[in-house]
Amino acid sequence: MSSVAWYYFDRAFPSPIIAGGLSLLYLVTQIVSVAMIAKTFGAYADRLLLGDASAPIVSNLFASGIVIVLVLVNMVGSGAVGLIEELLVAAKLIILAALMIAGVPSIDPKMLSNGPTVGAATLLASVGLTFFAYAGYGMMTNAAGHVAIPHVTIPRAIFGLFVHPAYEGRGIARALLPLACEDLRAAGFSEATLTTGPGTRAERFYRENGWQETGRQVDGQGEDEIVFRKRL
């Protein structure tokens, strides 16, 4: 995940210091989010299983156990991650629905009247809890379970197409490019987009092979590049 974040930050910001700093910040926020979520569910487990007889360290042990279990599940594979996520989401929805139904008879309209205001610290704490709760649900409801059909669920891309200098001029690129386009067409795409530097042999090559220029852009290093597109 951190390498993917680095790639996109590097494409967005020409400065490696900014790209690296944002990538590191993203990684740290992920660690903090996971730690906070594990801490929260550790406290839930502590209260549910041991009640008032528990010691403060027990919730930390539960939290550590949750992190270890999640690491092991991720090591098994994306299929296991997807299955566990779906089961967790289903369980949470069932629990929330049961609590809502159980709370309906106890609704008291008088409780909706204005009450005492809270301080800024309490307000910020509630906002923080809401944020971490949202982050937790967001992390647990991704599409990892559907990666079993990547050619359908994940857009396909070819990072680069190169021929070793020792083998240039033999028509290898002209043979490889149609194969790459056919692979994209078989995956269900109707057009392909690529970029290359202006004034290069690659630019001439793509123009000669039917690619149409659709615009210009600046890459992550601040260099101009041409955007080509072709119907497959």
The band of 140, judged by pLDDT with boundaries at 50, 70 and 90, is very low
pLDDT at position 212 is 92
Global pTM reads 0.42
CA separation (Å) from 13 to 4, 6, 46? 14, 10, 45
3-state helix, strand, coil in the chain (%, to 5): 70, 10, 25
Question: What is the tens place of the pLDDT at every residue in 95-132?
Answer: 888 888 988 888 877 776 666 677 788 777 777 666 65
pLDDT at position 9 is 73
CA separation (Å) from 84 to 36, 140, 198, 206, 221? 19, 9, 49, 46, 41
231 secondary structure, DSSP code: E
Mean pLDDT to the nearest integer, 203-220? 88
CA distance 151 to 178: 19
pLDDT at position 151 is 54
CA distance 38 to 67: 6
pLDDT at position 2 is 47
Examine the pLDDT at 213 and tell me if it is beyond 90. yes
The band of 228, judged by pLDDT with boundaries at 50, 70 and 90, is very high
pLDDT at position 14 is 75
SS (H, E, C) 117-134: CCCHHHHHHHHHHHHHHH
What is the four-CA torsion angle of 144, 146, 152, 153, rounded to 10 degrees? -40
Phi, psi of 134 (to 5 degrees): -65, -45
Cβ-count burial of 46 within 10 angstroms (0-12 exposed, 13-18 middle, 19+ buried)?
Answer: buried
Q: CA 133 from chain center: how many Å? A: 17
Question: What is the tens place of the pLDDT at every residue in 144-197?
Answer: 444 555 555 555 667 677 888 888 888 898 898 898 888 888 877 888 888 888
11 secondary structure, DSSP code: H
Most confident among 72-76, 78-82, 220-224, 225-229 (mean pLDDT): 225-229
Examine the pLDDT at 141 and tell me if it is beyond 50. no
pLDDT at position 130 is 67
Mean pLDDT to the nearest integer, 67-82? 80
Each as own residue / partner, the long-range contacts of residues 27-31 (CB below 8 Å, 24 or more positions apart, any chain) are: 27/1, 27/2, 30/1
Question: What is the tens place of the pLDDT at every residue in 30-68?
Answer: 788 788 888 888 888 888 888 777 777 888 899 999 889
**Quick check: 213 and 227 in contact, CB under 8 A?**
yes
The band of 220, judged by pLDDT with boundaries at 50, 70 and 90, is low
